[in-house]
Structure 1
């Protein structure tokens, strides 16, 4: 498991800095969005080895060694976007943890892509060129989340509900929708948020 985590970690480094040491190939994938529209996205697929590594990634726990390293790796990008759009970086880390578990190549059953799980239509509206690119994905995801925060008058819980279930559902129910998945999602994000917030406070205290 230690060796597998190390190799997986090294692969993430390769993805982010753009080194082509790991052979990849581009292909197209058709994805059906929520509104049943079919869109085609170009993706850079990992080799069978790296694909297997992500399929067997470590325990879904922000305290795991692998995810701590992943968080540290993406930290500069997250902080840059958080500062740009004036959102708490710890909250963005929590959203990424809940959405993708820090897997930049994640694709949900609904077709959401990347670290912050952007739907193709949303990514297009935000001008995100490549949802598999961590920097593009995080910048677009944070910008979209900030739009939702403003839309719901600074109510973070409603913004999270909209990020998960869509702003139309939040408006329809005039609050958090009665969807178990959405309610659990909000609880999960806040749980992760407190973990990252406390970790930052601890690290600051040691400095």
Structure 2
């Protein structure tokens, strides 16, 4: 149901035009801490300037930072270019499809790794971010604190059990899209939700109480 819903209702976004791992990778790095609407023009401009891995690897760093200007968190751009250079040098310009190899690339954390592998390569790898943890906290009625690293690991294991082997790309993107459009933080649109019948939080009337998130204490 989630996959059917995603395929019908997904937003038309430029990085969804194909499964090119480079495009998926650039979009996921840009989308860290930045809203989708903000990213779209930057993504289009960046891909026009650096249409391939090789183009980005060969580019002058200042040129790359200029194209990133306004998105902030410039270390993302530097890490991306360094990692792309590594792919060109070590992997012949092809983004690796092995979880360990992708996970070692600079700036690629567990979520970005899962997104690249599932969306570009149809590998059933979890891609768990705040959206996904919120959605699954509600569907499965999980009361673990999502601010804790151990909870992310728990959700990664849950996704491994649930993920579609036939279409992991649509499954992961469906969870993300559900969190962005329907299962929103404050006022989820439960009546429009394709998996409302499976949702334990909705059944118990506690959807707005989940997920549990402690505020991070100052060190």
| TM-score, scaled relative to structure 1 | 0.28
Q: Which has the larger radius of gyration?
A: 2
Task: State the structure with bigger RCO (CA 8 A, min sep 6), 1 or 2.
Answer: 2
- With the length of structure 2 as denominator, give the TM-score of the two structures: 0.27
- Whichever structure has more strand as a proportion of its residues is 1
